[in-house]
Chains A and B, each alone.
Chain A
């Protein structure tokens, strides 16, 4: 069975602080995909990044960066110089290869960025 754990329920930071959201996953599959989504108050889940299990290269996109480590089954997400607009719930998700659209989501981390 697959499982995604986001141990941080809620994080509060002051604008311009860096913040890291943790994601730990469990799977017996050798090929799988990891995703991060952002859910603002409007409700829709916004796709941020995907990572294949065979590609451990870290990625940076503007103020966002992701650290994927298979050895620790972690796929952490860092926001540098956080902004109020980053306030949202962030979900980490796992998908087994060949299972099309069936994502297993973590419970989410609510990030609150204040001035």
Chain B
């Protein structure tokens, strides 16, 4: 079974630009969540999508948005990039069939904002 796939692996953008990251969950997983990892703030929850609806949201500005498609694939968008948005963005999927379903993470997209 293929794992969680994130594309691209690396991105370099300039301040003020916008970026879209993509995530394909494990087959059969309907829940997709996104996390930001930085040296200063650690791993922080961005948002979660289930059946194309945002079910949970972390404490991030509106510049961070996402969506989920009918095939459970998800995209995350960051607009008006700032230097502080440089981070490893991790996507995770789960079956969500039981409350303690573990999250399965992808390799992440490393975003560098210059």
Contact = CB atoms under 8 A, between A and B. Distances in A.
Interface string A89-115: 001000101111111111110000000
Interface residues on B, range: 20 to 34
A83 to B, nearest CB: 23
Please classify the interface of chain B as helix (H, G, I), strand (E, B), loop, or mixed, using the class held by over half of its residues. strand
B32 to A, nearest CB: 8
A75 B112 CA distance: 34
B56 interface: yes
Given A33-B100, A35-B102, A47-B104, A100 B50 contact: yes
Interface residues on A, range: 20 to 34
Interface of B: 3-4, 31, 33, 35, 42-45, 48, 50, 55-56, 58, 88, 90, 92, 94, 96, 99-100, 102-108, 110
